[in-house]
Structure 1
Amino acid sequence: MSADLKALIERAENWPEAARDELAAIAEQIEGELQAHEYSASDDELRVIDAATASLDRGERASDDEVAAAFAKFRL
């Protein structure tokens, strides 16, 4: 186990119970996907994908400035 993961798990032991439960649920989901070797999108994810596809079908596109701003916002 990487040192970063070990440190995170140690810190998580002091999180509120609801946060620990959420972390465990996410980890179980990842584990299940790794074991199944396939990913199944949730209903919410499928709705977002459908909405994005419909937006593209309508010809809606982000401008170059909007794309640059998004990359700048999420760049580490």
Structure 2
Amino acid sequence: MTTKILQDAMRRVEAWPEAAQVELAELALEIDAGFSGEAYRATPEERAGIERGLNDAGEGRFATDEQVRAAFDKFRRV
């Protein structure tokens, strides 16, 4: 990626809703941590979500193929 492409992207991001900007910044920091050799540390909210997912999997609760498709379709429209 060239500097011009990055600058272009950042100009566009300025028009995004604040929540989307925060999400992008968090993602960029995660990517940066991977380059710096830092270990990733999940937030308390992420850890709680992981725990819920593991509990659900342990109890055999899984989404149907249709539910998964609907979720992906929803997020692709955003």
Query: In 2, Cα distance between the equivalents of 1:6 and 1:51?
Result: 39
Unaligned runs of 5+ in 2: none
**CA RMSD in angstroms, aligned pairs only:** 3.4
| TM-score (norm: length of structure 2) | 0.58
| CA shift for structure 1 position 37 | 4.4
The superposition leaves residues 30-69 of structure 1 with CA deviations (integer Å, 9 ceiling, x where unpaired) of 4344312432211211111001111111111111210111
Q: What is the identity, as a one-letter code, of the residue corresponding to 1:64?
A: D
Unaligned runs of 5+ in 1: none
- Aligned partner of 2:61 in structure 1 is 60
- Aligned partner of 1:46 in structure 2 is 47
Q: What is the identity, as a one-letter code, of the residue corresponding to 1:40?
A: R
Trace 1:25-36 onto structure 2 (pairs within 5 A): 26=26, 27-28=28-29, 30-36=31-37
Percent identity reads 30
Change (3 A) 1:11 1:59: closer
| TM-score (norm: length of structure 1) | 0.59
Q: How many residues align?
A: 72
Q: What is the identity, as a one-letter code, of the residue corresponding to 2:67?
A: E
Change (3 A) 1:61 1:6: same
